[in-house]
Amino acid sequence: MKALFGRKVLDLDELKDLTLRAVKEGHKGQPYIIIREVFLANEYFMDFAGDFLKDQFWIRSEDGGVNMNGEVRCVRVNNMDTDEKVLVNSEGYDYPRYTALEID
């Protein structure tokens, strides 16, 4: 599995736009592994997705980084109502420092 991670992306709309442009340019993405999953109702997911630079109590500084196999360690954030997913690599912070779309 690979994903196209963006650093300090503002919100879900920007992430979608950046991902679409990266795919069109032929970028392949980075390998990743899911270390934890978070499930949010649509209201909370949209609040999270509206400001990726905001600290989240459920994101821990140890939730990110890269493992010894070169895979990005991620939290998968699921919208329980729409099945939309965002991958978060906190990279030592309490906010989604790096985000990516999980595309089935």
pTM for the model: 0.94
The closest of 36, 38, 40 to 79, measured between CA atoms, is: 40
| Cβ-based neighbours of 103, under 8 Å, separated by 6 or more | 3, 19
94: phi then psi, degrees, rounded to nearest 5: -105, 20
Q: Is 74 helix (H, G, I), strand (E, B) or coil?
A: strand
Tell me the pLDDT tens digit for each residue of 24-36.
999 989 999 999 9
Structural contact between residues 5 and 99, judged by C-beta atoms closer than 8 angstroms: yes
Tell me the pLDDT tens digit for each residue of 7-16.
999 999 999 9
Distance CA 17, CA 42 (A): 21
From start to end of 12-79, where are the E strands? 30-40, 72-79
Structural contact between residues 41 and 80, judged by C-beta atoms closer than 8 angstroms: yes
Tell me the pLDDT tens digit for each residue of 49-85.
999 999 999 999 888 999 999 999 999 999 999 989 9
